[in-house]
Amino acid sequence: MGGTSRSSSQSRSTGASRSSSASRTGSSRSVSASRTASQESSRSRSSSYGSSGRSSSRGGYGGGSRRGGRKKRNQRNYMTIAIAGAVCILVILAVVLAAKGCGRKTAVGESQTESQISGEVMVDGVSITGMSREEAKDAILAGYPWKMTVSYEDDTYEVENLIADRVDQLLDEIFSTDQPQESYSLDVSGMEDLIQAQVEAMAAKWDKPAKNGEISGFDKESSSFTYSPEENGVVIDQEKLASDIRSAVEEKKFDAAITATAKEVEPEITAAQAKDMYRVIGQYSTTTTANKDRNTNIKLASECLEGKIIQPGETFSFNDTTGPRSEDKGYKPAGAYVNGELVAEPGGGVCQVSSTLYNAVVFSGLKTTERHAHSYEPSYVTPGEDAAVSYGGPDMKFINNSDTAIALRAKLEGSLSSKMTLTISVVGIPILEDGVTYSMHSEKVADLDPPEPEYVEDQTLPPHTEKIVEQADMGSRWTTNLVIKKDGEVISDELLHNSTYRGHAAVIHRNQTDEQVTEAGSEATETSPTASSVAGEITPMETDGMTEDDSGLEASNAQTAADSQPAATSPAPTVPASTAPAEAPAETTAGSTGQVVAPPPVTQAPTVENGPGV
- pLDDT of the residue at 117: 66
Q: Are residues 455 and 339 in the same domain?
A: yes
Tell me what pLDDT residue 324 has: 95
Which of 522, 441, 525 has the alpha carbon at shortest distance from 482?
A: 441
Do 367 and 304 belong to one domain? yes
Q: Could you tell me if 349 and 484 lie in one domain?
A: yes
Asked, for residue 585, whether it belongs to a domain, the answer is yes
pLDDT (0 to 100) of residue 567: 41
116 found inside a domain: no
Spatial distance between the Cα atoms of 584 and 344, rounded to a whole number of angstroms: 12
Tell me: do 103 and 194 sit in the same domain: no
Is 218 contained in some domain?
no
Burial group, residue 413, by CB count within 10 angstroms (0-12, 13-18, 19+): exposed
Q: Which pLDDT score, from 0 to 100, does residue 583 have? A: 45
533 closest CA partner among 586, 596, 470, 469: 469
Helix (H) or strand (E) holding 499: strand 489-501
Report the helix count and the strand count for the chain, using DSSP H and E.
12, 27
Whole-angstrom Cα distance, residue 471 to residue 598?
A: 8
Instruction: Clarify whether residues 448 and 315 are in a common domain.
Output: yes
Question: Do the domain assignments include residue 305?
Answer: yes
> What pLDDT shows up at residue 600?
35
C-alpha span between 351 and 326 (Å, rounded): 15
Q: How many CB atoms lie within 10 A of CB 224?
A: 11
184 and 297 in a common domain: no
What is the reported pLDDT for 74?
A: 60
Count of domains in the chain? Answer: 3
Low-confidence ranges of the chain (pLDDT < 50): 1-63, 65-66, 102-114, 520-614
Residue 476 bridge partners (DSSP): 447, 501
Co-location of 249 and 143 in the same domain: yes
- Give domain status of residue 342, yes or no: yes
Q: What is the distance between the alpha carbons of residues 358 and 226, in angstroms, rounded to a whole number?
A: 25
The answer to whether position 221 is within a domain reads no
105 shares its domain with 126: no
pLDDT score of 611: 33
Q: What is the pLDDT of residue 151?
A: 97
Q: What is the pLDDT of residue 70?
A: 55
105 and 128 in a common domain: no
Same domain (yes/no): 372, 322: yes
406 in a domain, yes or no?
yes
Q: Are residues 339 and 416 in the same domain?
A: yes
Residues 302 and 260 in one domain: no
State which residues form the domain around 462. 278-520+527-589
- The SS3 of residue 4 is helix
According to the model, what pLDDT value does residue 119 have?
Answer: 73
Among 82, 110, 138, the domain boundary falls at 110
